[in-house]
Amino acid sequence: MTEKKFTWVNTHYQLVKYLETKENAQKELIDLLKSVGIQPFNDKTSPESHDVELDEIDPFTFFCYINKYGSQKRLDYLQEIARKLKIEIPSDEKGLPSAQAQKVWLFPYKYDRVNNEIPRLWGFFKKALEDKITDIDFEDILKINSIGKTKLTEALFYINPEKYLPINGPTKPFILEKLGINPIFNSYSDYISLLNQIRTKISVPFYELSYIAWEWKNNINNNNMDNSLKYSEQLTAFLEQARTDNLKTKHYINKFNGTIVKVSFGQGVTARVPWISFLKEPFTTSNGIYPVYLFYKDLNKLILAYGISETNIPSESWNIQNPITIKKYFVENNLGIPDRYGASYVYKVYNVNEMPSNEIIDNDLNQLVEFYLNIKGQIKVDIIKPTEFNRNGFIDNLTDAGLLFDPNLVTRFIASLITKPFVILSGLSGSGKTKLAQAFAQWISQDESQYCIVPVGADWTNREPLLGYPNALKPDEYIKPDNGALDLIIKANKHPELPYFLILDEMNLSHVERYFADFLSVMESKSQISLFAEGSVNNGVPAKLSLPANLFIIGTVNIDETTYMFSPKVLDRANTIEFRVTKDEIKKFFATQNDLDMKILKSQGASMAIDFLELAEYKKSVVQDLSETLKKLIMFFEQLKKTGAEFGFRSASEIIRLINQLTIINSELSADQKLDIAIMQKLLPKLHGSRRKLCPVLIILASFCMKDTKIENIEKDVFGKDDFDFGADNVKYPISLEKIYRMYKGAIDNGFASYAEA
């Protein structure tokens, strides 16, 4: 019995009839797709994570969801949908082009849908059915971020496979080689003219031509196979040579499927990760995006990736759904940290010892290249070459700008930021808290839009001064605060590759728990802050707001009669760094009297921003002598519990992470120095109480900070001396001991003491 072909065509026409009436019932279309097993439908309100369900869809994307699967699976789905709608059930799917699995939608994510993209697609769909598409309509749809000419012609083919032909990977070479027609077009008129030319050369329907072209391309035993679309033999030679010390590359082809090919085994010495890149103008391997093979030799892993240049930061992005960076792939599969190229995205991973067939290899590469060739992009002019993060560069620039900070304090500040992006700077007014926060933000940012200093008002009783509010008189309008805080958070969501800094000056001038409650909640839950009802406002403000990983919040705190104390809830979520000015620092200040010039700092560390964010993102902690560290922390836990200031699981894990990050920022710190900092910043801040409750505990804690002094001698040998030397050899944790010493003196003199001091 002869196999029936192209039975899907009538099914598609009947589906189009069904779709014509569903513009106002888009959720029904999504539910239909879900009901047959198609997934996922996770949308984004920020670049950080897939946090909401897709609730709108266009008719072209509806077809793309079905056709993103392999031949049998998509046929099964199409048949099941046909049964549910009681329309003609197809028996084949021959000639249907596959939709790019990583880029199914014809519209961007929710946070970037600001120009009525989905209504425009519905309007284009209706014009296509009425044969009323103009060049202006065609150009308008191509402006939507996610759509190229290949994808658009495939979408049109899905809804009318007799009128339209997909101009894609299989058909382009066929049209050129077999029909002798140049398949390039720029407008809708050009496209229709191209289709008319094709009809004069071949009489079969376009849906059949689509299948003929696909079969011609993929039949590698057919003499008519286009060898220009096969790269597998070159790849095999590349993998073999990568195992040798031979660095020569001239014998490799330099063009493939419309791209320029670059091969590298290293410069002068063999690279740990040799690569092959496929480039189109204006991109280069040092400046742009491109498909790339990356061979991680030590792991026998070959990754076909959505490549991103390391030397310079390209302005164009791949804009793919559900992206997984190579770094994330390595971490999730217990492969450690990739030597290089961790920011690129995984397309396909091959085990070099078990490579698939040449046909699969060639098909994978051609699909990615085809997707790449349809990306419209430009390279930005002012490119900053990424470099490794180095705290010494910041310390040197601080001195040049006339700012005097203890290098150890700077180390603590930076390590705290990459431990958790919420840091509280507490201490004496005028000691430089705001200046340090401003200096670092200014130093590592490319421009001023990446940081915002917001003075906290004494009248802040809710979140509106930071997040704004819906206009009660104009329901479709959202009032943003003038201080720029909300704009900064929105920008941070849109640009995850850059760090952003929200500096809350005099944070405790009002009750923190009142205006900052939403922030405290989502810091731990990783959920979103709801600003207004979905769909009620449309002025560039998202209905729900995420706090992305690239947003760093720094609060400065002065302690006096005009301020409020922090609750344990706040302190538990931050690293608290106390600023004090010593006699030696005052002497040095008077001796130098340098003019302050903050302009010197501007963007001096911008090249280190990417590495800084990667340090903040990396969650694994490796602490030497972990068991000994834990033993000491438990000792402190038992004593702090007596005053109700014990720490929980969150603080425990953050202490370990802080110690790890301190090691990264300054490898010269000893184990005791790092634990001293952790005790000071994470354990002592919640300590407060009356003299009767506090003093016995402070005595024991002080003994923990000493090497050879017994508990019974602490009051006499430490607390009893007005000039105790905290730098003495028998002091194990000098920073923490000095704080405990001052708290003890305060409790004795005032009958009460707390970590926060005026």
List pLDDT tens digits, range 268-285: 778 889 999 999 888 888
Q: Among 55-64, 83-92, 247-256, which is the least confidently predicted range?
A: 247-256
pLDDT for residue 586: 65
Residue with the larger pLDDT of the pair 568 and 406 = 406
Residue with the larger pLDDT of the pair 346 and 339 = 346
- Classify residue 362 by burial, with Cβ atoms within 10 Å: 0-12, 13-18, 19+: buried
Supply 271's token pair: 């690279």
Q: Which amino acid is at 185?
A: F
Q: pLDDT band for position 536 (50/70/90)?
A: low
Alpha-carbon distance of 94 to 9, in angstroms, equals 10
- C-alpha dist (Å) from residue 278 to 171, 292, 315, 359: 21, 6, 18, 19
Averaged over 524-544, what is the pLDDT?
A: 78
Averaged over 304-322, what is the pLDDT?
A: 78
Q: Does domain 391-617 have CATH number 3.40.50.300?
A: yes
Alpha-carbon distance of 72 to 74, in angstroms, equals 6
Q: From the centroid of its chain, how far is CA 681?
A: 28
Q: From the centroid of its chain, how far is CA 717?
A: 52
- C-alpha dist (Å) from residue 256 to 198, 232, 369, 636: 25, 12, 9, 64
Alpha-carbon distance of 190 to 534, in angstroms, equals 41
Alpha-carbon distance of 665 to 389, in angstroms, equals 8
Short-list 720, 611, 166, 191, CA closest to 387: 611
pLDDT for residue 427: 81
Alpha-carbon distance of 325 to 616, in angstroms, equals 16
Residue with the larger pLDDT of the pair 610 and 161 = 161
N-to-C CA span, the chain:
92
Sign of CA dihedral 512, 619, 665, 497: negative
- C-alpha dist (Å) from residue 728 to 706, 718, 731, 733: 10, 11, 6, 10
Sign of CA dihedral 405, 406, 410, 412: negative
Short-list 758, 756, 702, CA closest to 733: 702
Beta strands 422-427 and 551-557 are: parallel
Q: Which amino acid is at 158?
A: Y
Strand partners, 302: 295, 350
pLDDT for residue 543: 85
pLDDT for residue 646: 62
Cα Dmax for the chain: 104
pLDDT for residue 196: 95
Q: Which pLDDT tens digit goes with each residue over 448-472?
A: 999 999 999 999 999 999 999 988 8
Contacts of 144 (CB under 8 A, 6+ apart): 106, 107, 108, 115, 117, 120, 121
At 24 the three-state DSSP class reads coil
Q: What is the pTM of this model?
A: 0.55
Contact, 423 vs 657, CB < 8 A?
no
Its CATH architecture, for the domain 230-373, is 2-Layer Sandwich (3.30)
Average predicted confidence (pLDDT) for the chain: 85
Short-list 369, 338, 320, 17, CA closest to 159: 17
Phi-psi bin for 287: left (phi > 0), alpha (psi -120 to 50), beta? beta
Averaged over 359-368, what is the pLDDT?
A: 88
Phi-psi bin for 56: left (phi > 0), alpha (psi -120 to 50), beta? beta
At 85 the three-state DSSP class reads helix
C-alpha torsion angle, residues 534, 540, 545, 549 (rounded to 10): 150
Domain layout of the chain by residue ranges: 8-218, 230-373, 391-617, 626-754
Q: Which pLDDT tens digit goes with each residue over 170-210?
A: 899 889 888 989 898 989 999 999 999 999 999 899 999 99
Q: How large a percentage of the chain has pLDDT more than 90? A: 40
Alpha-carbon distance of 445 to 442, in angstroms, equals 5
pLDDT for residue 429: 76
Short-list 163, 101, 553, CA closest to 363: 101
pLDDT > 80? residue 313: no
Q: pLDDT band for position 385 (50/70/90)?
A: low
Q: Which pLDDT tens digit goes with each residue over 630-684?
A: 888 888 878 877 776 666 666 677 888 898 899 888 888 998 999 999 999 988 8
pLDDT for residue 192: 95
pLDDT for residue 23: 94
Contacts of 399 (CB under 8 A, 6+ apart): none
Contact, 501 vs 556, CB < 8 A?
no
Contact, 314 vs 329, CB < 8 A?
no
Averaged over 355-379, what is the pLDDT?
A: 80
The kind and range of the H/E element at 412 are helix 407-419
Alpha-carbon distance of 318 to 308, in angstroms, equals 9
Alpha-carbon distance of 179 to 688, in angstroms, equals 84
pLDDT for residue 379: 39
